[in-house]
């Protein structure tokens, strides 16, 4: 029987971002995928304008109904969280599922920024909400910018030393009692994925494809969770997810509109997963 994964994040109407990026990856990996949108977003925040409708009341009522029906999941993947109220709803959802399934895996990709700053329209409330969600996640997968905002250190820096990178990961681990994978870390002039687990802190260096697509973090978090659920250790799962994203970006590097993300379905059909 296929494992059931619940995605709790934004639903973007135009573009392969959020749920629209994650669903095809996890479905192709053989999982049953369900969703609880935190917001309906017209398009990427990177365009000159966008519309966003928060779905907080819908989330609250849906979770109440699901709990009454006894619905449960094998994993919960959390992404965009807009408010503290949403964070509380998600906490209740996680606690209910933990009682029904002690082996539940909860991951968090704290979507809020990149390149040293928060995304257009996001602010301190989003940071605070995601910090509270970190406390009940098993693994968090922020990019370097998001990690800096969560830890409240090194903000605005684009490159760090190995010691600074390890201090950042250690602070996240200590503050939130979670294991972490930090993507897009620039250590000197090298690119790295950093993993901090109960066993060790490791830096995995890689060659960057010099193209910036939106949605790559969503692809990473989906592939990472799908690999983790197959029993692969965190460090190896992070490396495999990084390779998946790197190969995907390299294949579509010539695409003109990078903000819309990558229509991943055709690529997935070619893969042996």
Full-model pTM = 0.96
The count of domains in the chain is: 1
194 occurs within a structural domain = yes
Of 194, 195, 98, 83, the residue nearest 130 (C-alpha): 83
Q: Does some domain include residue 273? A: no
CB 133 within 8 A of CB 85: no
Give domain status of residue 92, yes or no: yes
pLDDT of residue 158: 87
DSSP label at residue 177: -
Q: What is the pLDDT of residues 119-174, one digit of tens each?
A: 988 999 999 999 999 999 999 999 999 999 999 999 989 899 999 999 999 999 99
Tell me whether residue 20 is in a domain: yes
Is 66 among the domain residues? yes
pLDDT of amino acid 270? 84
- Tens of pLDDT, residue by residue over 65-103, are 999 999 999 999 999 999 999 999 999 999 999 999 999
Q: Is 272 a member of any domain? A: no
CATH number (domain holding residue 260)? 3.40.1190.20
Q: Report the alpha-carbon distance of residue 273 to residue 253 in Å, rounded.
A: 22
Dihedral pair phi/psi, residue 203, rounded to 5°:
-110, 125
Q: What is the phi/psi pair of residue 56, to 5°? A: -60, -50
Residue-level pLDDT at 1 = 81
Distance CA 43, CA 23 (A): 17
Q: Note down the domain range covering 174.
A: 4-266
Q: Considering the domain boundaries, does residue 213 fall inside one?
A: yes
């Amino acid at each position: 029987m296929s494992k059931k994964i619940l995605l709790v994040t934004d639903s973007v109407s135009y573009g392969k971002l959020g749920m629209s990026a994650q669903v095809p990856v996890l479905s192709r990996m053989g999982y049953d995928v369900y969703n609880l949108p935190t917001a309906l977003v017209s398009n990427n925040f990177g365009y000159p304008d966008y519309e966003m409708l928060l779905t907080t009341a819908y989330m609250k009522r849906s979770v109440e109904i699901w709990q009454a029906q006894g619905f449960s999941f094998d994993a919960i993947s959390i992404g965009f969280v807009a408010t503290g109220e949403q964070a509380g709803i998600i906490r209740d959802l996680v606690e209910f599922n933990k009682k029904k399934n002690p082996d539940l895996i909860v991951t968090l990709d704290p979507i809020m920024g990149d390149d040293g700053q928060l995304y257009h329209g996001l602010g301190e409330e989003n940071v605070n909400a995601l910090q509270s969600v970190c406390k009940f996640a098993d693994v968090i997968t922020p990019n370097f910018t998001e990690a800096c905002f969560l830890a409240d250190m090194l903000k605005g820096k684009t490159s760090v030393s190995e010691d600074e990178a390890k201090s950042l990961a250690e602070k996240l681990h200590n503050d939130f009692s979670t294991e972490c994978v930090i993507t897009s870390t620039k250590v000197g002039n090298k690119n790295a994925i950093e993993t901090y687990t109960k066993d060790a802190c490791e830096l995995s260096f890689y060659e960057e494809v010099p193209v910036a697509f939106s949605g790559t973090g969503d692809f990473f978090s989906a592939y990472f969770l799908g690999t983790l659920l197959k029993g692969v250790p965190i460090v190896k799962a992070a490396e495999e997810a990084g390779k998946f994203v790197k190969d995907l970006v390299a294949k579509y590097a010539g695409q003109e509109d990078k903000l819309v993300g990558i229509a991943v379905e055709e690529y997935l059909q070619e893969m042996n997963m």
